[in-house]
Chains A and B, each alone.
Chain A
Amino acid sequence: MEKQWRSIEEFEQGITPEQENSSGKTSASRRDFLKLFGFSVASAAVVTSCEKPVQRAIPYLIKPEEIIPGKANYYASTFYDGTEYCSVVVKVRDGRPIKIEGNHQSPVSRGGTSARVQASVLNLYDDARYKEPVLSGNKISWDEVDSWITSRLMDGGNTVLLTPTIISPSTKEALRKFLQAHPNARWIQYDEVSASGIREAHMDLFGTSIIPGIHFDRADYILSFDADFLGTWIAPVEFARDYASTRELSTAHPHMSRHVQVESALSMTGSNADARIPVTPRESVLMLGAIYNKIAGATGHPAIFTPPSVISVDDLVADLLAHQGKSLVISGSNDPDIQKLVAGINLMLGNYASTLDLKQSIQLKQGDDREFEDFVSSLSQGEVDNLIMANVNPIYSLGGFEAMKKAGFTAYLGSALNETASACQLICPDHHYLESWGDAEPVLGSYSLQQPCIHPLFNSRAWQDSLIKWAGEDGSYEDLVKFWWENMIAPREAQGNKQWWVDTLQAGYFVSALEPIPASTSYTPPELKLDPPESDLSLVLYSPVGLNDGRHANNPWLHELPDPVTKVCWDNYLAISPADASAMGLEDEMVVTMDGIEVPVLIQPGQARGTISLALGYGRIKAGKVGDGIGVNAFTWVRNRKGYREYTRDHIKLELTGKTYPIARTQTHHTMEGRPIVRETTLKEYQSDPSAGNHFHLEAEAHSQTLYPEAKFDGYHWGMVVDQNKCTGCNNCVVSCIAENNIAVVGKEEVKNRRIMHWMRIDRYFSDQPENPRVFHQPVMCQHCDNAPCENVCPVSATMHSNEGLNQVAYVRCIGTKYCINNCPYRVRRFNWFKYMNNEKFDFNQNSDLSRLVLNPDVTVRERGVVEKCTLCVQRIQEKKLEAKLEGRPLREGEVQPACVQSCPSGALVFGNMNDPDSEVSKLKREERNYHLLEQLHTLPSIGYLTKVRNTEPVPGEVDSHDASSDHEQHG
């Protein structure tokens, strides 16, 4: 039925009629074939869990016109894991999904992905997945399951269906069927990290329980309270793209937004702010109250009662009032009162007309904490007979779920092992999202489709299918999706039109027109009396960029992903401010006990005094071989306050234990030592002098001399530009690179030994005072120098320069003298210290037949003892060059995109042909902001960096001068 498109380009060109007809004819068999093929490669290796991967290749009898062995197919689909949404394109090679790409057609995520999304493909091949239905320890068939359940449900006991937020219209329909069939059944949505405060606030103010659409791109002034909107808050991918668009600078357009972050823990978002105010949770509430009152005063609204704020908010208020209707105030708090204040401020500033959108509201995070509380209490009173849970993990995220024992019968519908599932009587394996149909409505009116890209690896069943079955209806969920889209979502004129469905499935998304809601301007202030938390030592719990809320805790790629700010892998830890640490006599890696639980300490510049912070998502005990027992479960400290899940605690007591616990960091020195590495200037200076902060570049160019003539590159000369003003340090590129290039996971010990294999790293530097440092993120990959020092010193010619300016490594030729590593001033080369594949010592994804299915066949898996590094995804370049050659044309601009570039949510990376003066790269390289890393060495890198510009008052002393904090070596 549906027709896939091999690449975004092909989709853009549209499908020619012949293709339609042909595809129309063979589509059914094609789909089946795809399933079979995927099955033959994958499941044969897996279900039978045989020792070695399958060696036999299956020849085609009739080759489906779509499948060319060794050529990838791309399918538009949707990633949604219960908290995060992303529209994706799945790269399928020989029936195996091996890579997630961003879908540039999507109006919501617009080609961006996040580290979690990139890593999700590995979860498909997770050893911890359930392989067949299990009833109290015994494997059973689906028919047994169905009969068993239906019999139980027919008893008419109270049934509760606990799910994460459901944004899929078709799933909601399936739920409706189920609830209809079982009148005693209730459906409860539950968010580990809840945003019901926002919904509650909007319920009060606007009468609808929504999260408004938040449009950073329309904001000139952004004021964020503890909201890590670039990292994990609500819809980071969408926000990052919008945010980055306001940070885009060029001599043609020398304007950018100003972003002020008020927060306790130094979050990734805070590290990108133009100005950052570290405060305790209490102070942040007081500041909000003060701002509210001042703005209320200025706009003629009644004030509310609030204790005075010790921190002056005058200039914040001034800026806000100066940007009425073009500003944006957000808060990450889950307290409805605070969210009411925020909404009130935005209303008074008239932002609801522009930067905030009541119409296209965000559909994520629909969980209602109070409803959930009621459910828990009724559960603990034994009023629930049947508890059916789908893809939620309350035992973990409530820090224990005693009440569950009271339920007469517990069933779990989910894909992978977790604490809750293993405590349930019945386990019904769910598909991974790459195996199942589905759809999503992340933003009201914006839909996207999810299609299976591989035949289910195990004897699993979409949980929606189960619902339909248990509702006593027939027909599959697949049919339901199609039906729903063709008849409910499709515009009237297109309803029942097969072609519409095919096209939409191909694009992966559809936006429907909405009736406009009049932007509400009238504002009736709520009666509010702020009672902020005590200002004691307060604990702040946050979702880390890697593991988020811990639902992917068995994913080694995410565990080995260094935190954007602390650069720590494989652990969570108590971040504490340098001042507090010295006051309490704490040092890095010391272990303290907090409420009897032992946690290691990490001194974190920028952490607000009087606060400590701890990452959620760690401390899983039943996640699988990788995730078990890593870190501590921070959800233990999450508590309900006034009926809302609160992610801060006060009156925290720490006791020293005298123990120490090693923490693995990928970077142990945190200042630039005054070297011109990340160059920085302020907007004012940039406007007056575009090369501000980058004068060293001119100097280096002036002194540039060469003994030998510089090498010429005819044809293509590949290069990249990194816009450090857009890069948020979100680590998406890092995971994308891991997935594309089969990069090995080495584990905590080896990371500690400084042997991480990541080809792409994001260096992070601090400057200024440790209380509130300026933070710099700098993505560093192989610079592909035209005068590469590494090439000169290889005795066996294993590394040399290609005629397209690529610095290449011949793995088969390398004998591992490591001289190239020493002679690379950027230290981007990686040595295979051990055999990382099939080695019990490195029991991660590459040590499992199942997980190895994720390997990219286009990229060699490196042997022990050879050196490897970034290739600018040469395999992608070659693939596209071949296509172009077959069509007898040169490569088009933007046709080749390395993995890191393709899915960068903020568009900070640009790749292209430097020989073409009109290419985006060449244009950016002509910008005055452009410079090269360590250019004084005359290595002539092909990678350019654009000066970071902060929209702030000129800072005393540029980066070129020695930083104040370079002598704060206790965190260096």
Chain B
Amino acid sequence: MDSAYLLGVFDKEETMLSAFRKMKEQEIEIEDVFTPYPVHEILENHGRKSRITIVGWLYGFFATIGVLAFLFYTAVIDWPLNYGGKPSNAFPSFLVITIILVIFSITILSLFTFSWRANLWPSNKKPIYHPGATDDKFVIMVNKEKADAARASSVMKETGAIEVIEK
């Protein structure tokens, strides 16, 4: 059985973190870390970037323009009507709609972006390396091609990994 990955399984956040730090010092490239809850030190130091917040902001920006343009076109240019003596361009009324519709579009769009970028979608078949990672285990994964497996495993062991699995 040839295995691509080396998995260091920890049962405490602290031990996992110490291993993480050590490996950083020794510049052992860490493929990924699986934790049952977000561990912010890792999220900040692991080096992966996420621009989803910026994207969300952009969605909002363009949605605002789009919605206002649509309202103005339909109510003022295309089919103006006299409702209770108000001018067809009753801008204050547009604002409410704009706010809600912008919120609406941001949500939908960023949901899809999320599901695409974090590639999460119903019944996709990503390999699950260690089932404990969603329960009470913290798993550090090292890619054998990219890093020296022997050193990695030794580091993990000495920092208190309860087991080191080859997968």
State if A and B touch, Cβ cutoff 8 Å: yes
A789 with B81: CB separation less than 8 A: no
B83 with A800: CB separation less than 8 A: yes
Which residues of B sit under 8 angstroms from A789, Cβ to Cβ?
A: 84
B81 with A710: CB separation less than 8 A: no
Contact pick for B82, options A709, A794, A800, A940, CB 8 Å: A800
B87 with A709: CB separation less than 8 A: yes
B83 with A791: CB separation less than 8 A: yes
A708 with B81: CB separation less than 8 A: no
Q: How far is the CA of A462 from the CA of B156 in the complex (A)?
A: 116
A61 at the interface (CB under 8 A from B): no
Q: How far is the CA of A785 from the CA of B85 in the complex (A)?
A: 9
Smallest Cβ distance from B80 to chain A, in angstroms? Answer: 10
Which residues of B sit under 8 angstroms from A943, Cβ to Cβ?
A: none
Q: How far is the CA of A709 from the CA of B81 in the complex (A)?
A: 15
Of the candidates A710, A790, A792, the one having the most CB atoms from chain B within 10 angstroms of its own CB is A792
Q: How far is the CA of A710 from the CA of B85 in the complex (A)?
A: 6
A788 at the interface (CB under 8 A from B): yes
Q: How far is the CA of A789 from the CA of B87 in the complex (A)?
A: 14
Contact pick for B85, options A788, A794, A802, A803, CB 8 Å: A788
A708 with B85: CB separation less than 8 A: yes
A517 at the interface (CB under 8 A from B): no
Residue on A with the closest CB to B87? A708
B86 at the interface (CB under 8 A from A): yes
Residue on B with the closest CB to A797? B81
A787 at the interface (CB under 8 A from B): yes
Which residues of A sit under 8 angstroms from B84, Cβ to Cβ?
A: 785, 787-792, 801
Which residues of B sit under 8 angstroms from A514, Cβ to Cβ?
A: none
Q: Give a binary string over A778-818; 1 marks a CB under 8 Å from any B CB, 0 the rest.
A: 00000001111111101001001111000000000000000
Which residues of B sit under 8 angstroms from A57, Cβ to Cβ?
A: none
Which residues of B sit under 8 angstroms from A794, Cβ to Cβ?
A: 83
Smallest Cβ distance from A359 to chain B, in angstroms? Answer: 57
Q: How far is the CA of A366 from the CA of B82 in the complex (A)?
A: 59
Smallest Cβ distance from B77 to chain A, in angstroms? Answer: 16
A702 at the interface (CB under 8 A from B): no
Of the candidates B84, B85, B86, the one having the most CB atoms from chain A within 10 angstroms of its own CB is B84
A711 with B83: CB separation less than 8 A: no
Smallest Cβ distance from B89 to chain A, in angstroms? Answer: 10
Residue on B with the closest CB to A787? B85
Which residues of A sit under 8 angstroms from B81, Cβ to Cβ?
A: 797, 800-801
B82 with A792: CB separation less than 8 A: no
Smallest Cβ distance from A887 to chain B, in angstroms? Answer: 29
B82 with A801: CB separation less than 8 A: yes
Which residues of A sit under 8 angstroms from B85, Cβ to Cβ?
A: 708, 710-711, 786-788, 801, 940
Residue on A with the closest CB to B85? A787
Q: How far is the CA of A797 from the CA of B86 in the complex (A)?
A: 13
B87 with A792: CB separation less than 8 A: no
Smallest Cβ distance from A795 to chain B, in angstroms? Answer: 11
Smallest Cβ distance from B87 to chain A, in angstroms? Answer: 6
Q: How far is the CA of A788 from the CA of B84 in the complex (A)?
A: 4
Of the candidates A710, A801, A802, A803, the one having the most CB atoms from chain B within 10 angstroms of its own CB is A801
Which residues of B sit under 8 angstroms from A785, Cβ to Cβ?
A: 84
Smallest Cβ distance from B88 to chain A, in angstroms? Answer: 11
Which residues of A sit under 8 angstroms from B83, Cβ to Cβ?
A: 791-792, 794, 797, 800-801
Residues 69-86 of B at the A interface (beta carbon under 8 Å): 81-86
Smallest Cβ distance from B133 to chain A, in angstroms? Answer: 50
Which residues of A sit under 8 angstroms from B87, Cβ to Cβ?
A: 708-709
Which residues of A sit under 8 angstroms from B86, Cβ to Cβ?
A: 708, 792
Smallest Cβ distance from A539 to chain B, in angstroms? Answer: 53
Q: How far is the CA of A663 from the CA of B86 in the complex (A)?
A: 43
Q: How far is the CA of A787 from the CA of B84 in the complex (A)?
A: 4
Q: How far is the CA of A791 from the CA of B82 in the complex (A)?
A: 8
Which residues of B sit under 8 angstroms from A786, Cβ to Cβ?
A: 85
Q: How far is the CA of A791 from the CA of B85 in the complex (A)?
A: 9
Smallest Cβ distance from A351 to chain B, in angstroms? Answer: 54
Q: Give a binary string over A700-711; 1 marks a CB under 8 Å from any B CB, 0 the rest.
A: 000000001111
Which residues of B sit under 8 angstroms from A790, Cβ to Cβ?
A: 84
Residue on A with the closest CB to B82? A801
Residue on B with the closest CB to A800? B81
Apart from A788-B84, A940-B85, what 13 extra A-B contacts exist at CB < 8 Å?
Answer: A708-B85, A708-B87, A710-B85, A711-B85, A787-B85, A789-B84, A792-B84, A797-B81, A797-B83, A800-B82, A801-B81, A801-B82, A801-B85
A-B interface, 4 closest residue pairs, ranked by CB to CB distance from nearest:
A801-B82, A787-B85, A791-B84, A792-B84
Mark B residues whose CB is within 8 Å of A: 81-87
Q: Can you report 14 A-B residue pairs in the complex whose CB atoms are below 8 A from each other?
A: A708-B85, A786-B85, A787-B84, A788-B84, A788-B85, A790-B84, A791-B83, A791-B84, A797-B81, A797-B83, A800-B81, A801-B83, A801-B85, A803-B82
